[in-house]
Every structure is written in C-alpha cells, then in structure tokens.
C-alpha cells in the first residue's frame, strides 16, 4: 500500500509545541537577566528580539504542519491556539525589554523585577506542562501546573496594581508615568496570555484524559 504523505505526524506537533515553550523559557530567562543585571541593554534586547523571531518561526512551522496533516493528535484548533498564545507571551516579553531600551530607562524598578520573575516562573511551568502532552495516560499530570500558573497570574495582577499605585504616588513626571505604565502593561499582558495557555491545556485534559 503506498504511503500517504498527509498521515498525522503526532510527535512533530508535540516537538514543535515543546520547542516553542522552551523558547519562551529562554526569553523569560533573558528578561530576568536584563532587569537584574542592567548592563549591555542593547545587546540583551537584541537577543530577546532574536528569540521573538525564533518563536514566530516555530509558530509558522506549526501552522504549515497543520495545513499538511489530515488527522491531528488533538484538535487542530487547540494546537493552533497553543502555538499562537505561546508566541504572544514571547512577543510581550520582548516588548517589555524593547520598551526599557527605547524609553532609555536608567534602572528597572523593583516592581518590574518582581513581575519579570513571575513571568519566568510561569514560563517554566508552561514548559513543564507541555512536556506531558504527548503521553495520553499522563494528561492529568498537567492540571497541577495549570493551577500554579493561575495562582502566579493572580500574583502578577497584585504586583501590577501595586506598581501602578506606586507610580502615581511617587512619580511627578507625566512622561515617566506613561513610560512605566507601558512597561508594566507589557509584563502584565505576558502573564495574562501565559494563563490563557494554561486554560487551553486544561481544556485539552478535560477532552482527552
């Protein structure tokens, strides 16, 4: 019987999603390094831009594979949404770093460092969760990671509110308020979208476990 080229290549989807998650962890680590060791900002931001482009490339490969695959191991909508949201988190991480650069921020604030660390912890949990996707019998092992990611997103929300409150209380320059509000919003959006990834994963577990 001739080989049919569009038969599902299950492992390839899982490999690409895990590659995207690992790229996200690399980006989150690079962001933490930037805000904790605030030197060579141009070079470190350029590295984050490279990681963002790498994430775009992985997402493009996933979409191409979806178009070529007749039957997918999980719903194609879930695969596409996971790929898109993982890439979105990386985009906002890179956006926060770029904002620090273009706004010529002299020193990251304590709140920005705390928020970046939460982003990193969420990225690590997402990578760990996604590593369980390929083993159907262990899908429920993903759920504790989702719970922790949701908890971390709540922590990030609290940090965002605190950061904005401190900003308006202590900063008199309207320009500085606008700059920092943008940076905080980029970081907060990264955590919101990381929670979105966890929600998609939770939905996959409920459908297939």
Region 32-41: mean pLDDT is 97
| CA quadruple 163, 85, 92, 177: dihedral, nearest 10 | -40
- Reported as a single tens digit per residue, the pLDDT across 124-180 is 999 999 999 988 888 999 999 999 999 999 999 999 999 999 999 988 899 999 999
Whether the full predicted model's pTM is greater than 0.95, yes or no, is no
- Give the architecture-level CATH label for domain 10-208: Up-down Bundle (1.20)
Give the pLDDT of residue 69: 85
Give the pLDDT of residue 8: 46
Q: Is 70 exposed, middle or buried (0-12, 13-18, 19+ CB in 10 A)?
A: exposed
- Reported as a single tens digit per residue, the pLDDT across 92-106 is 999 999 999 999 999
Distances (CA, A) of 153 to 115, 125, 190: 10, 12, 10
């Amino acid at each position: 019987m001739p080989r049919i080229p569009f038969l599902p290549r299950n492992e390839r989807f899982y490999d690409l999603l895990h590659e995207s998650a690992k790229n996200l962890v690399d980006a989150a680590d690079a962001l933490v390094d930037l805000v904790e060791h605030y030197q060579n900002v141009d070079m470190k931001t350029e590295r984050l831009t490279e990681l963002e482009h790498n994430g775009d490339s992985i997402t493009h490969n996933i979409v191409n594979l979806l178009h070529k695959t007749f039957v997918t191991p999980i719903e194609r909508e879930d695969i596409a949404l996971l790929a898109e949201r993982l890439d979105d988190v990386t985009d906002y991480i890179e956006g926060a770093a770029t904002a620090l650069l273009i706004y010529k921020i002299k020193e990251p604030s304590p709140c920005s460092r705390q928020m970046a660390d939460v982003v990193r912890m969420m990225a690590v949990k997402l990578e760990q969760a996604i590593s369980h996707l390929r083993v159907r019998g262990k899908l429920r092992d993903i759920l504790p990671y989702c719970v922790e990611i949701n908890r971390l997103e709540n922590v990030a929300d609290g940090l965002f509110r605190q950061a904005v409150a401190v900003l308006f209380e202590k900063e008199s320059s309207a320009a500085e308020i606008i700059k920092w509000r943008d940076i905080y919003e980029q970081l907060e959006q990264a955590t919101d979208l990381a929670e979105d990834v966890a929600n998609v994963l939770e939905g996959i577990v409920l459908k297939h476990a």
